[in-house]
Amino acid sequence: MPEQRTQIDGGPAGGENLDLLETRYGNRFLREEAPAEKLPAVGMPAVEAMRLVGEELMIEGSPQRNLATFVTTWMEPEAQRVIAENLHRNFIDHAEYPRTAELEQRCIRMLADLFHAPGETTGARTQGSSEAIMLGALSLKWNWRKRREAARKPIDRPNLVFGGDVHVVWEKFCRYFDVEPRIVPLKPHKYTIGPEDVEPHVDENTIGVAAVLGTTFTGHADDIVGINDYLLALKRERGLDVPLHVDGASGGFVWPFLYPHSEWDFRLEQVRSINVSGHKYGLVYPGIGWLIFRERADLAEDLVFYENYLGKRDATFTLNFSTGSAMVVAQYYNFVRFGYDGYSYIMHTMQANARKLAEDIAAIGDFTIIGNEGSEQLPLVAFQLAGAQRYDEFDVASQLATERGWMVPAYTLPPDAEHIKIMRALVKQTLGRSLATALAEDLAQACATLKEKGSLHHTDRKRVHTNTGF
Ligand SMILES: Cc1ncc(COP(=O)(O)O)c(C=O)c1O
């Protein structure tokens, strides 16, 4: 029996004794609320802060079972080491860290080559595709204005044409930067757009058309070849030169490997700029995107700022200034680690597992898979309930999360297909064959449970169309 005992609740164990016990056996947040409203008056030992943060985050969803996100949830231990070793470097300090800047330029050149840029070009590292799209679309606006000013035409009513299948960032751009959005509505059973949809909306005030390679909703691509052909005809017949920007947030790292002969990039004359998320199928952790121009002239020179605060005259084309270097370095690591062959292997593996998962989901008998077998698509499975049931896709998503912790989102499509509900499972590097099989079994089980007990919710399930998990 120990010589000295201390009671925990009340009595002599309060005050200093309790402090001692906490220090020895735990931390004080086992018995106290975590600081949430004010900066605490005094701090705490590092190990305690580490435990506090760790414990708070412990109850989050598991990234490995998050099949909603397009964003990378796993990298190799060597890549993690490269990231850890570069966390303290500010990317914008080109004078101090010129090799980091060189790695960025190498990544830009490699992507320009992958996207078949005809010659020397330029681009930028961004925080993600959202920043890349804002910058790319600003360049469209500036170049349009320059053309209009040269022709002595009004510049007060710019518009941008895109489909309802785009990510919300395109509408955000229009609102933030005062451009009229001309959104082509989707239709039931037609979830991407083509030239016939774009044509009625384009006029001399159109700063550009945006097409998506791998939509957030179903993973398919707009008819980029068709839109390019239409824009070429417009240039030839009416002298209107309307540039095409391809939003390859996800598809830019998928199509070159799965569908190398499919033309969507700078092989098409009107494609003037492309964005891609390094942190999606570029296989890097969150915080990296890329904007690549077809030619230097596609970047409006007015948008580039020159400064010398950091010791050397430098050009910046970005919405942010200071930011980390780690993800740029990690992107370069992935490029040299995998090469074309490695990315190709990984993309084909994900595609094969997505196809197997689609077969297994179809075999449950309750679901219809969205998309034809041969259609070009991101490695994912988009599906919906076949026929009327006592429950819907949102119930299936909730039941699956409750029973097995899988995060497979349910959402509604944008107008005019907003009555259509869809579920979507991303098949990434970490969803190997046996986990894909387990997911299909768990989905079948969730349906069996729902058949017994019916709908889980009776609330209004209207969802905004971007609730897709990104
Ligand atoms: C087609 C598309 N464009 C743009 C974005 C925004 O990309 P980011 O999250 O890299 O900013 C997404 C995100 O999912 C997307 O799917």
Query: pLDDT tens digit string along 421-447?
Result: 999 999 999 999 999 999 999 999 999
The finding on whether 129 has its CB within 6 A of some atom of ligand 1 is yes
Is the pLDDT at 271 greater than 60, yes or no? Answer: yes
pLDDT value for 468: 53
Is the pLDDT at 132 greater than 60, yes or no? Answer: yes
Mean pLDDT is lowest, of 293-307, 331-345, 355-369, for 293-307
pLDDT tens digits, 102-121:
999 999 999 999 999 999 99
Give, for ligand 1, the residue of 66, 67, 69, 70 to mutate: max count of ligand atoms closer than 8 Å to Cβ. 70
Mean pLDDT is lowest, of 13-17, 63-67, 168-172, 362-366, for 13-17
Span 14-20, average pLDDT? 71
Residue found by looking up tokens 């409203």 in the block: 37
From ligand 1's centre to the CA of 107, what distance in Å? 19
The finding on whether 217 has its CB within 6 A of some atom of ligand 1 is no
Which ligand 1 atom sits closest to the C-alpha of 132? 11
Which ligand 1 atom sits closest to the C-alpha of 166? 1
Is the pLDDT at 156 greater than 80, yes or no? Answer: yes
- Closest C-alpha to ligand 1, atom 16: 216
Mean pLDDT value across the chain = 91
Closest among 465, 119, 140, 176 to 274, alpha carbons compared: 140
Closest among 393, 392, 374, 390 to 382, alpha carbons compared: 393
Domains of the chain: 11-60 (no CATH), 81-334 (3.40.640.10), 351-453 (3.90.1150.160)
From ligand 1's centre to the CA of 129, what distance in Å? 5
Q: How far is CA 61 from the centre of its chain?
A: 18
Span 253-274, average pLDDT? 98
The finding on whether 250 has its CB within 6 A of some atom of ligand 1 is yes
pLDDT value for 418: 92
How many Cβ atoms from other residues are within 10 Å of residue 154's Cβ?
Answer: 9
Could you please report the per-residue DSSP string of 110-128?
HHHHHTT-SS---EEEESS
Give the Å distances, CA to CA, from 193 to 157, 164, 190, 321, 457: 24, 8, 8, 36, 34
Confidence of residue 78 (pLDDT cuts 50, 70, 90): very high
Confidence of residue 9 (pLDDT cuts 50, 70, 90): low
From ligand 1's centre to the CA of 167, what distance in Å? 6
The finding on whether 72 has its CB within 6 A of some atom of ligand 1 is no
Span 44-58, average pLDDT? 89
